[in-house]
A and B are shown apart, each in its own frame.
Chain A
Amino acid sequence: MIPTQWFLILGAVLFCIGVCGVLTRRNGITIFMSIELMVNAVNLTFLAYARQFHQLHGVIFVFFIMAIAAAEAAVGLAIFISLFHHRETIDVDEANLMRW
């Protein structure tokens, strides 16, 4: 069996890649994909701990996170479509109406 901390380290690396994507990109959809990446890294961590402690709670939490990620993707992409219709861009730096 593979040690738990290797999965944790993989999850940490993927999470940081997602953080980097959110911080350095402008394209709204790419930022959104980075967020999905972070969500998946957290899922991996949940499952690694679930196996480590033989608890089903982590597995069920991941199940709920997947449902919420689906809802989030639907609403978020709808927001981007709406933004594109109004502004002709999905550059998040352009959508600065509520910035200051």
Chain B
Amino acid sequence: MINFVIFFFFAALAVIFALMVILHRNPVVSALSLVVSLFSLAVMYILLEVPFLAALQVIIYAGAIMVLFLFVIMLLNLQRRREETTRPVQQFLGFTASAAFAVALIYYLAKYAVMTLPNGPFLADARTIGIRLFETYFFPFEMVSILLLAAIVGALLLSARGLPSPDPERSEGANAPEVPGR
């Protein structure tokens, strides 16, 4: 019984703060609401008996990714500038299209996705996931590490102020003050 109370409380929290993300004009408020929404999704993961991924959700999403978002918002000083609204026709079409999509999805889920509850506990702790990850999914795991490396390099390249110019003297002169450690 307590499970249902927790589910509804955090589901309502997730939906309300998700709405806040898309309706609020200030990006800082949006980012903080998204943190709350992701945190309530972590509670959902615990209810789904995957506590390991709940911990990952809090650490990676609510911790790392959202800190990155807030950092960029603060860096670009976006919290002060007001975002102008989109055209009314775009607002209307966006809201009606997504509402219609939601109604259709909920209708078909409620109609056809009625499943009996699985029996027995679902064993998905860190140990089981780790064994599976390093046996069956070893190759994708390594690919993901390469992808993350590529993302680091790409992010550094893209966010550098001005790409290094092909002229070696000029590029050294331009880059020298920014890299004091070299």
Contacts and interface: CB of A to CB of B under 8 A. Distances in A.
Interface of A: 1-10, 12-21, 23-27, 29-30, 32-34, 36-37, 40, 43-44, 47-48, 50-54, 56, 59-60, 62-64, 66-75, 77-82, 84-85, 90-91, 93
Contacts of A6: 7, 11
A82 B60 CA distance: 24
A81 B98 CA distance: 29
27 contacts: A2-B7, A2-B47, A4-B113, A5-B110, A13-B102, A13-B106, A14-B14, A17-B21, A30-B21, A40-B37, A40-B38, A51-B49, A60-B132, A68-B144, A69-B60, A70-B64, A74-B151, A74-B152, A74-B154, A77-B69, A78-B154, A80-B76, A81-B72, A81-B76, A82-B159, A90-B78, A91-B83
Contacts of A16: 98-99, 101-102, 105
A9 to B, nearest CB: 5
Contacts of A74: 68, 151-152, 154-155
Given A24-B95, A33-B30, A81-B75, A44 B109 contact: no
Given A17-B19, A36-B65, A60 B129 contact: yes
A47 B129 CA distance: 13
Interface of B: 3-4, 7, 11, 14-15, 18-19, 21-22, 27, 30-31, 34, 37-38, 41, 44-45, 47-50, 53, 56-57, 60-61, 64-65, 68-69, 72-73, 75-76, 78, 83-86, 90-91, 93-95, 97-99, 101-102, 105-106, 109-110, 113-115, 117-118, 120, 122, 124, 128-129, 132-133, 137, 140, 144, 147-148, 150-152, 154-159, 161
Nearest to B49: A51
Given A5-B114, A33-B34, 19 more contacts: A12-B109, A13-B15, A13-B102, A16-B98, A16-B99, A16-B102, A21-B21, A26-B85, A27-B83, A30-B30, A33-B21, A36-B34, A36-B38, A43-B41, A53-B118, A56-B132, A64-B144, A75-B151, A77-B69
A52 B78 CA distance: 43
A3 B34 CA distance: 25
A19 B101 contact: yes
